[in-house]
Every structure is written in structure tokens, then in C-alpha cells.
Amino acid sequence: MFEVLVKKGFQVEFHSHSRAILGTDFPIAVAELETALTKSTIPIEEIVAGGGGEAKGTQRLRRALASLNWPKFTFTIEKIINGEKRESVSHQIDHVRTMQDVGRIALEIEWNNKDPFYDRDLENFKRLHADGAISVGVIVTRGRSLHDNMRTLIGRFLQERQIYRLEDLEQWGYSPTARQRTTIRGRMERTRNPISFQDAFTDVFVADKFGEATTHWRKLEDRVHRGVGNPCPLLLIGLPDSIVTFHEGKGALAEVEAADASPAEETGVKSDIS
């Protein structure tokens, strides 16, 4: 199961009999999910340019899933005593695949949010599973190789685009904050062990945007191994560094610029860290 993803470097992990459930009851949904993820790419220029709101790569994955009948879905659970409604709780999920007469799979995408979002996702899955609303919960997140190699990816971008100063970044849609500029210059100009612009920028950019307190595989793994979300059957998928591409050049910025010039896309979900 998910052999194509594994060959491409994706991390795939099953918990609480999710492999058996997915293989027996949801083979069509498994194929759909693999199809959408196999086609997932994110140009390095998008990672650098960033911008507000949700990452464009995440939005493309959402559209791919939605086209395969994995829409956003809101579960509403009501408690009724003697015909009187006592309480109502709603859970909005990024994507839900409903298979008639079989069940539902709930899926959340956590590309780059603050890591407490994992607690929310896993607790939602636990409650929905306990109430019989879902059969399996899925989380797609930044995999270990993508998180650990982010410095290498950013360094390669700077080298290949011959970026040696802050001003060179403007053409790629990135403008460091005043604090970042001060920190970068401080590391370059310090008396002891000064470093190059490329190293200073990479250190500051990755720490600020893709730091340890964001959603990545180790943070998710820690929670699952502690039993958060248990006993809901879980499928965890980590996006690998191989989804990052370097051939688009400035053409990759078109989608970022178009989004910045138009109203934010209505996704009904949380925003990624910019």
C-alpha cells in the first residue's frame, strides 16, 4: 500500500490497524490519495517568496483532493435528552472521503503551522472515531527529509540564483523584516567567526519560517507515540524533500503574485506560517 509514495521518499506510517481498514474497506480512496500526493510539487521560489495565508503548494493539493471527492466537511454532533437538545459540537475537517455503506476518512494537511495544531487534529479524530463518524484519520505533514534538509534547499537556491545580498532577494518576492536584516548583517559583520551572506540568510530564514516549533514529522511522531488521538486508526504521511523543484525560475512566482493581488482564497482552514 502506497508503494509509489514510498519509492518517491514519502514517509508512510500506520497506527491502530489503519492499514487493514484502508486496504479492506477503502482501496479506492487509497488510490485517490496516492494519485494526488504523487503529483504534489512545490517550487523553491514559492518557499522563499512565501507571502501571507496558506502556501500555494498546499492549495494545489487541496484542489487535487477536492477534485477526487475529498471535500471540506463539517461534522455536527448533538446530544439530545428526552427530545431536548442539550449541546452541539462541530468539527470542521480539511478533507473527508465518504464511501457509501462503508464509512469516512478524515484528512488534515499540516504543511507549516504551529505544532499545537497536531493536538487539535488528533483530538478531533479521536472524538469523531469514538462517535462512529470516521473510520480513519489522516495527517499529511512536512516529512523528516524536507524539514531536516530545508537549509540545504535554501542554500542551493541562493547559489543557483547567484544571490549575494539582501537586495538580490527582491526580484524573488522576498523582503526581510527589519529584525531579520539586522540579524543577518550582525552575523556577517561580527568580529568573531563572521559568516557569508548566504549562510546568514539561510540560518535566519529557516529558523524563522521552518523552526522546530512548526508542524513537522518529529513533532507529530512525538504526539502519536504518547498516545494522543488513540485509539483512532491513523495514517501519517510525510512530504519528502523530493517534492521541491528548482526548474521553474521566476515563472513559479506568477501564482504567488496573483494570489497577493486578489482576495484570499476561501478555503475555510487555518493559514500556514508565512
What's this model's pTM, rounded to 2 decimal places?
0.89
Task: Give the list of residues 6+ apart from residue 103 with CB closer than 8 angstroms, or none.
Answer: 25, 26, 134, 135
Grid cell digits, residue 67: 477534485
Burial 26-57 (b: 16+ CB within 10 A, else e): beebbebbbebbeebebbbbbbbbbbebbbbb
Residue 14 phi, psi dihedral angles, 5° rounding: -110, 145
Q: Where are the alpha helices (H) located in 131-268, listed in sequence order?
A: 144-148, 150-160, 178-189, 197-209, 217-225, 253-261
Residue pointed to by grid coordinates 477526487: 68
Residue pointed to by grid coordinates 532577494: 169
Other Cβ atoms less than 10 A from the Cβ of 139: the count is 26
Number of H helices, E strands in the chain: 12, 9
3-261 folds as Restriction Endonuclease (3.40.91)
Secondary structure (DSSP) of 88-142: EEEEEESEEEEETTTEEEEEEEESSSBTTHHHHHHHHHHHHHHTTS-SEEEEEEE
pLDDT recorded at residue 255:
65
On whether the CB atoms of residues 274 and 51 are closer than 8 A, the answer is yes
pLDDT recorded at residue 269:
40
Task: Give CA–CA dist 53/192, Å, rounded.
Answer: 39
pLDDT recorded at residue 272:
53
On whether the CB atoms of residues 7 and 240 are closer than 8 A, the answer is no
Low-confidence ranges of the chain (pLDDT < 50): 263-271, 273-274
Task: Give CA–CA dist 64/81, Å, rounded.
Answer: 42
On whether the CB atoms of residues 99 and 130 are closer than 8 A, the answer is no
CA distances from 62 to 76, 168, 250 (A): 22, 32, 23
CA angle 151, 37, 60 (to 5 degrees): 80
Task: Dump pLDDT digits (tens) for 116-134.
Answer: 999 999 999 999 999 999 9
Task: Dump pLDDT digits (tens) for 230-245.
Answer: 999 999 999 999 999 9
User: For the chain, how are helix, strand and coil distributed in percent, rounded to 5?
Assistant: 45, 20, 30
